[in-house]
């Protein structure tokens, strides 16, 4: 693999969307590379010309599934028999949260910066099981010390579960997962991580951190297709988490005379029936590219782009950077506010006038750029220049109307 700028230019060239757009929205959904599309196309063609259950297609499906578990395990520092395939991050979080036998009065600790994919399972645990939910305040200006102090208070002797994002989608900050996990485990709580913003972005080390369950998607920073996710469950937790949706994979024995023995020990008990092989093939190609590019190199590069964006946007009068600046918290997610400009309208303007794809984050009244390795400083400059123009000249009325009718976030 080429070094430095050459490596990033190569990644950029492999993303067709970058030929027209400055695409900076992988925190929502990442673009597909030529390699990912080719892998999916090859699988679809195999199914088309051989039939989906021909020997060749079945062998390919088995090999693709095995490779997907293997690459995911490598990315997370886990073993293959600790990886279940899911539909997305939220499904993985749900499997883990609902697998724990929570009792009335048990406390579920989560944060004020969670996505609905983590927060709603916590609220449902309250609704269904009578658990109590504690929300730890998380602000992008907080250092890790302040966040840990709040977790320390929330994690009392009734705490049974922590649900949190390692990187929050709304503030773009990296949380001190190692220390939170140590603290939670010392108090007997299960730690379930929403890794929607982490896979393909930051190095993940589930074994080193001792995490109980960690859910990731294919379609965000990994730049794989949507409709598939991966769930890590620590080997010694698999047996005591009950699967919530079940199929033959959750039976170690069954017949048609009433005999049944539940599968307890295999991580595949969390998987339900048939999955899309083209989608798996695309995810394998995405993981291959990520691991080959370099996990640490990717993490260093996206934060370098974020630092560049901070410097560039700091020079625009009226702009406020809304993502964390501390080295320990900074990620590839960069957020800003521009004077009184409505972030939804500004997002529509950037798209319409600049072919710039970003998103607004309602909760933070900010615009969010997801800076990945196929982005470069020119994408950031182009965005900054248009924001400068919007602040000095205003945004044409047509965008106000478009924002009112288009997809909001
Ligand atoms: C932190 C976080 N959790 C969960 C999700 C939902 O992810 P998925 O579609 O994989 O369930 C998102 C999507 O933006 C997210 O940012």
Q: Ligand 1 within 6 A of 196 CB? A: yes
Distance from the alpha carbon of residue 344 to the mean position of ligand 1, in angstroms: 20
- Is 70 exceeded by the pLDDT of residue 1? no
Query: What are the domain boundaries of the chain?
Result: 4-31+295-405, 39-291
**Do residues 323 and 330 touch, judged by C-beta distance below 8 A?**
yes
For residue 90 and ligand 1, the question of a CB distance below 6 A is answered with yes
Q: CA–CA separation, 174 vs 144, rounded Å?
A: 9
From the CA of 88, give the closest atom in ligand 1. Answer: 10
User: What average pLDDT does the structure give for the chain?
Assistant: 96
Q: Is the CB of residue 212 less than 8 Å from the CB of residue 233?
A: yes
Please, which pLDDT band fits residue 366 given cuts at 50, 70 and 90?
Answer: very high
**Whose alpha carbon is nearest atom 12 of ligand 1?**
196
Q: Is the pLDDT of residue 407 over 60?
A: no
Say how many Å lie between the CA of residue 20 and the centre of ligand 1.
26
Determine contact, residues 89/229, Cβ cutoff 8 Å: yes
Q: Is the CB of 88 under 6 A from ligand 1?
A: yes
Among 115, 122, 225, 363, which is best to mutate for testing ligand 1, by the most ligand atoms less than 8 A from CB? Answer: 115
**Which residues, 6 or more positions from 369, have their beta carbon under 8 angstroms from its beta carbon?**
24, 309, 333, 334, 335, 358, 380, 383
pLDDT of residue 7: 86
Half-sphere exposure of 211 (CA within 13 A, CB side): 29
pLDDT at 196: 98
Answer yes or no: is the C-beta of 217 below 6 A from any ligand 1 atom: yes
* pLDDT for the residue 6: 87
Distance between CA atoms of residues 30 and 25, nearest Å: 7
* SS3 labels along 126-148: HHHHCCEEEEECCCCCCCHHHHH
Higher pLDDT: 213 or 407? It is 213
Q: Is 233 exposed, middle or buried (0-12, 13-18, 19+ CB in 10 A)?
A: buried
- Please report the atom of ligand 1 found closest to the CA of residue 169: 16
For 253, other C-beta atoms within 10 Å of its C-beta total 9
Q: Strand 366-370 to strand 359-361: parallel, antiparallel, or no bridges (unpaired)?
A: antiparallel
Please tell me the predicted confidence (pLDDT) of residue 255.
97
The ligand 1 atom nearest the CA atom of 117:
4
Banded pLDDT at 88 (limits 50, 70, 90) = very high
pLDDT of res. 292: 96
- Cβ atoms of 370 and 172 within 8 Å: the answer is no
Asked whether the predicted pLDDT for residue 404 surpasses 80, the reply is no
How much distance in Å is there from the Cα of 47 to the middle of ligand 1? Answer: 30
Task: Give me the phi and psi of 307, to 5 degrees please.
Answer: -60, -40
Looking at the DSSP bridge assignments, the partners of residue 193 are 164, 214
Evaluate whether 215 touches 231 at the Cβ level (below 8 Å): yes
CA of 58 to the centre of ligand 1 (A): 31
C-alpha gyration radius of the chain: 22
| Substitution site in 28, 86, 90 for ligand 1 pocket (most atoms within 8 Å of beta carbon) | 90
Q: Which helix (H) or strand (E) holds 209?
A: helix 206-209
pLDDT band at residue 306 under the 50/70/90 scheme: very high
pLDDT at position 5, please?
A: 85
Given this structure, which CATH class describes domain 39-291? alpha beta
- The CATH fold assigned to 4-31+295-405 is 3.90.1150
Nearest C-alpha neighbor of 202 from the set 283, 293, 300: 300
d(CA 202, CA 102): 31
**Per-residue confidence at 408, pLDDT binned at 50, 70, 90?**
low
Output the CA 117–ligand 1 centroid distance in Å.
6
Residue 174 is classified by DSSP as B
Which residue among 25, 112, 114, 117 has the greatest number of ligand 1 atoms within 8 angstroms of its CB, and so is best to mutate? 117
The whole-angstrom separation of Cα 353 and Cα 351 is 6
Q: Which of 197, 215, 359 to mutate to test the pocket of ligand 1 (most atoms within 8 A of CB)?
A: 197
- pLDDT tens digits for range 25-70: 999 999 999 999 999 999 999 999 999 999 999 999 999 999 999 9
């Amino acid at each position: 693999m080429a070094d430095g700028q050459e490596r990033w230019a190569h990644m950029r060239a492999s993303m067709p969307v970058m030929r027209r757009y400055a695409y900076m929205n992988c925190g929502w959904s990442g673009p597909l590379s030529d390699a990912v599309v080719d892998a999916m196309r090859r699988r679809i063609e195999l199914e088309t010309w051989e039939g989906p259950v021909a020997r060749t297609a079945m062998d390919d499906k088995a090999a693709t599934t095995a490779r997907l578990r293997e690459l995911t395990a490598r990315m997370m520092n886990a073993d293959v028999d600790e990886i279940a395939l899911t539909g997305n991050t939220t499904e993985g979080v749900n499997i883990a949260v609902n697998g724990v036998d929570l009792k009335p009065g048990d406390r579920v600790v989560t944060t004020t910066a969670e996505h609905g994919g983590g927060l709603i399972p916590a609220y449902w645990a309250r609704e269904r099981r009578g658990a109590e939910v504690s929300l730890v305040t998380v602000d992008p200006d907080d250092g890790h010390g302040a966040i840990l102090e709040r977790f320390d208070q929330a994690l009392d002797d009734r705490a049974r579960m922590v649900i949190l994002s390692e990187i929050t989608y709304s503030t773009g900050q990296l949380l001190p997962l190692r220390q939170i996990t140590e603290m939670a485990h010392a108090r007997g709580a299960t730690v379930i991580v929403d890794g929607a913003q982490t896979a393909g972005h930051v190095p993940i080390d589930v074994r080193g951190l001792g995490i109980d369950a960690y859910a990731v998607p294919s379609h965000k920073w990994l730049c794989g297709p949507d409709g598939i996710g991966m769930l890590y469950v620590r080997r010694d937790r698999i047996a005591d988490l009950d699967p919530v949706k079940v199929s033959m994979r959750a039976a170690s024995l069954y017949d048609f005379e009433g005999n049944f023995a539940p599968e307890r020990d295999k991580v595949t008990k969390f998987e339900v029936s048939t999955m899309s092989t083209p989608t798996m093939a695309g995810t394998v190609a995405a993981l291959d590219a990520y691991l080959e590019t370099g996990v640490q190199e990717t993490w260093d590069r996206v934060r370098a782009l974020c630092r560049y964006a901070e410097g560039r946007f700091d020079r625009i009068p009226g702009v406020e950077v809304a993502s964390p600046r501390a080295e320990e918290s900074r990620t590839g997610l960069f957020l800003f506010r521009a004077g009184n400009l409505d972030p939804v309208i500004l997002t529509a303007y950037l798209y319409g006038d600049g072919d710039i794809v970003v998103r607004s984050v309602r909760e933070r009244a900010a615009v969010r750029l997801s800076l990945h390795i196929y982005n470069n400083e020119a994408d950031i400059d182009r965005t900054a220049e248009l924001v400068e123009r919007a602040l000095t000249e205003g945004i044409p009325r047509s965008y106000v109307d478009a924002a009112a009718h288009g997809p909001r976030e």
